[in-house]
Amino acid sequence: MSSTAASASVGSDSGGSSDGGETGTVPGGPGCGFASAAFCETFDAPSDHRGRAVELDARRWSAARGNPQLATGNGRAIAAGPATITDCRNDLPSQVFPDQDTLVCDANDDIASPHLLMAVGAQNYGQNSYRIRQPFDFEGRTGTIVFDAEGYVLNGLLGWISLEITEDPTPLPSFAILGNDEGGPVPRNGMQVQFQASCPGQLGSVGVRFIDVSSNYHDEVFPGPEFTCVAGAKGKLNHFEVRVSQQHVEVYGSPYADDGVSFEPAVLLHAVDVALPFSRGWVHLTTHNHATIKYSQDDAYGATEVIDAWVTRWDNVGFDGPVIDGGREFEVGDALVAGTDAWNIPGPVMDVGYRVPDFADATPLTLTMPGVDASGMGRARLAVSMWYLLGQDVPHEQYVLHYRVNEHGWHERSFDADELALLATGLIQGELGQMLELPVDELQAGDNTLQFATSGVPQSYPPAISAIDLVLAPG
């Protein structure tokens, strides 16, 4: 199947470039090694249906980009730096920014088929995450997710890949288990597999650092076994399988294949008994950039040159189970405002987020979501990534996000008790995935105007919003 992404949507204070608009499709049939795949993506060619996911089909993929540490520092709004890429396509530059960081590459000497390239130029603790817009259902069964990916780990302080399943379609699922590790948006209810481990004496090998289960934001971390890895190599693909039930998770991996196609049998990398608080969720593919610029200044962490971004390749992503149909999604594009010098990235950068003003200001942040069709839908929610400056003089209980659509009345979203408990740990760095309820009858066919403001939130480093999706469900 082909996939492509395209432009961004409009914003009152940005030069956005993506079109946004409707998402949602009903894949099915055999593929990705399944006799009957609920979802399968083989990244055969760039898609004509463009959105934040660039060359992936926006009807199938929701893309999000983030860096939770001081996201609006130095006047920026979630900035990504340049990413050096090689061996993708002849029509591409050697360095890319959003929205050229998600590409369908031609076959090459290491991967004998077209494939996806993700390039994460955001630092401290950047990630690009791609949510499949079709739920994965494993109620009463063990479901299987498969993917080929560049598991290569040079050092866990540089970059790695992960897979997440979240009950809500919130963007950028991550973890926050130690200081600066990673301090990202913990999902309310979710399961993560972090392929961040490498075995001593096996350069580039990949294993599971941990499986993380979150229940109402409370983490339970299951560390991976020591010295259990498969061989990895830069630019080459491993094959992975994740088998999931509500009671048990198993992760398998194959050593890299020289041609990216012919893999050895997968071996067990990690297995744990769990208590997942959900049986249907959203699958995310993620590439992490912990801090490549900081940790590649010398060879202490394995780098032989300065690494401006963490780049990974993926192919043949699929899962089994029933095809869950009937919902619709629409999106707002990234801001795509070019600038210079984020606090942690010298030189040119690209902002993907929007700063959110104080509610007392005359002008709220105003964005357009194009092409909406809510006919026949019974529930509407916005899924967003919000960054707030935390730990200041204002109690978190007083933080309020105000939002409205099409100039209807304002809605208020304060932190709930579980979010406040998460913030009280001091482990997250301000970025949260949040769901915002909307009355369906406030939506209109076609373009919809969204407005956002905050009150009680410090503006010394203003809050920022990104990765805005409208998620509709049948009545």
CATH number at residue 369: 2.60.120.1200
Q: Tell me the pLDDT tens digit for each residue of 121-146.
A: 999 999 999 999 999 999 999 999 99
Cα dihedral 40, 45, 50, 52 in deg (nearest 10): 70
Structure tokens at 366: 């105003």
| Helix (H/G/I), strand (E/B), else coil: 104 | strand
**Global confidence as pTM:** 0.94
Q: What is the pLDDT of residue 18?
A: 47
Q: Residue 308 is part of a domain; what is its CATH number?
A: 2.60.120.200
pLDDT (0 to 100) of residue 22: 56
Q: Which of 394, 401, 412, 416 minimizes the C-alpha distance to 460? A: 394
**Side chain identity at residue 27, one-letter code:** P
Q: How far apart are CA 4 and CA 53, in angstroms?
A: 7
- Let me know if residue 8 belongs to a domain: no
Mean per-residue pLDDT over the chain, rounded: 94
The phi, psi pair for 248, rounded to 5°, reads: -155, 145
- pLDDT, one tens digit per residue, over 142-171 is 999 999 999 999 999 999 999 999 999 999
CA–CA dist 428, 447 (Å, integer): 35
The separation between CA 378 and the C-alpha centre of its own chain, rounded to angstroms, equals 27
Question: DSSP readout, 301-342?
Answer: GS-SS---SEEEEEEEEEE-S------EEEEPPP--EEEEEE
Residue 345 lies inside a defined structural domain of this protein: no
Say yes or no to pLDDT of 205 above 90: yes
How high is the pLDDT of residue 29?
A: 78
Task: Look at residue 99 and tell me whether its pLDDT is greater than 60.
Answer: yes
Same structural domain, 306 and 367: no
Residue 376 corresponds to which amino acid?
G
Confidence grade of residue 475 (pLDDT, cut at 50, 70, 90): confident
Q: Which two tokens stand for residue 106?
A: 């031609």
Is the residue at 347 inside a domain?
no
| Cα angle: 396, vertex 397, 401; to 5 degrees | 80
- What three-state secondary structure class fits 396? helix
In whole angstroms, give the CA distance from residue 302 to residue 282: 34
Classify 471 as helix, strand or coil.
Answer: strand
Domain count, the chain: 2
Residues 88 and 220 in one domain: yes
DSSP state of 255: P
Please indicate, yes or no, whether residues 365 and 301 belong to a single structural domain of this protein.
Answer: no
* 181: β partners: 178
462-472 confidence digits (pLDDT tens): 999 999 999 99
Asked if residue 149 lies in contact with residue 240, where contact means CB atoms within 8 angstroms, the answer is yes
The predicted-structure confidence for 57-74, as pLDDT tens digits, reads as follows 999 999 999 999 999 999
Answer yes or no: do 213 and 265 share one domain. Answer: yes
What range does the domain containing 103 cover? 21-319
Q: Are 365 and 451 in contact (CB under 8 A)?
A: yes
In a domain, 5, yes or no: no
CB distance 191 to 208 below 8 Å:
no
* 183 in the same domain as 264: yes
pLDDT of amino acid 178: 87
Same domain, 158 and 68: yes
CA 291 to chain centre: 17
Residue 236 in any domain: the answer is yes
Decide if 437 is inside a domain: yes
- For residue 1, name the pLDDT band (cuts at 50, 70, 90): very low
d(CA 328, CA 59): 9
12 within some domain: no
Name the β-bridge partners of 263.
none
Do 32 and 316 touch, CB atoms closer than 8 A?
yes
Q: Do 360 and 292 sit in the same domain of this protein?
A: no
